[in-house]
Amino acid sequence: MPRTLPADDLLSATGVAACSRGAASTRDRCDTGEVLDLRPSCECCDRDLPPESTEAMICTFECTWCVRCVKTCLGGTCPNCGGDLQPRPVRPADRLADHPASTRRVVQTGLHRA
């Protein structure tokens, strides 16, 4: 059975700071400057994928695809890196002002199958 660590132990165990929402701290542990781009569209069909979308999938390089294209066109694998695709996290609305989503659209022609 996997062991669950308290949030404060995540940094020492993984080397990654855990976000501590509401914790009293002099520095917000979520504001590292490194955040996901949250690209605005599917790279296959150019469908809009706003920051709050639960239909966005990403690979470890943040290539962004909609769920429909992942199933019908890509077979669950990123055509760029060969990695698996996972649901993109939704950034909380109160964090978008300081960390806005990307506006750069990337579309790869030839991948989409209607």
- Asked whether residue 105 carries a pLDDT value surpassing 90, the answer given is yes
20: left (phi over 0), alpha (psi -120 to 50) or beta: beta
Please tell me the pTM assigned to this model: 0.71
Instruction: Give dist(CA 100, CA 96) in Å, integer.
Output: 5
State the Cα–Cα distance between residues 26 and 12, nearest whole angstrom. Answer: 19
What pLDDT digit, counting tens, does each position of 9-25 carry? Answer: 433 333 444 444 444 44
Confidence of residue 112 (pLDDT cuts 50, 70, 90): confident
The class that CATH gives domain 35-114 is alpha beta
Q: From CA 7, how far away is CA 80, in angstroms rounded?
A: 34
pLDDT tens track for 38-48: 999 999 999 99
